[in-house]
Amino acid sequence: MSKTLGKLSSELYDLKSKKKALNTEISVLNGSIKLVEIELLDVMNDQKLLKLTDDHHTIYIARQIVPKVVNWDLFYGYIRENNYFYMLEKRPSRTAFRESFELGQAVPGIDPVQFDEIRTRKT
């Protein structure tokens, strides 16, 4: 026998409530992890260490270079002049597309895709 609509909706709400509680707990843990990482980075930098190893684990500093755009006009001009469009991530803004779509403006090269999802809210 299949579940009733009432039982399914109650089950969904209960599961989402549990997920919300777990996500709150994860956020707290992530905050604690970040604080320890900052403290560890400070100590390792003070001692000029890039790697720390013991019998149980290894901790190391992985240096990364990431872009920080300080002038979008210059950056876009550089891309356009040199045809370096590969420097951009290839995904359109959902919000901007949705606004154009709702105004009846077609965007060349994009097809609107509709999908349904179940959402809940506490009443």
> In this structure, are residues 101 and 83 in contact, taking their beta carbons and an 8 Å threshold?
no
Predicted local distance difference test score (pLDDT) of residue 58: 92
Predicted local distance difference test score (pLDDT) of residue 1: 64
CA atoms within 13 A on the CB side of 5: 0
β-bridge mates for residue 5, sequence order: none
Predicted local distance difference test score (pLDDT) of residue 123: 75
- Chunked into runs of 10 residues, the chain (123 residues) has average pLDDT values of 89 95 98 95 92 90 93 97 95 94 94 83 76
> In this structure, are residues 100 and 107 in contact, taking their beta carbons and an 8 Å threshold?
yes
Residue 19 amino acid letter: K
Predicted local distance difference test score (pLDDT) of residue 117: 82
* pTM for the structure as a whole: 0.64
Q: How far apart are CA 30 and CA 28, in angstroms?
A: 5
> In this structure, are residues 52 and 44 in contact, taking their beta carbons and an 8 Å threshold?
yes
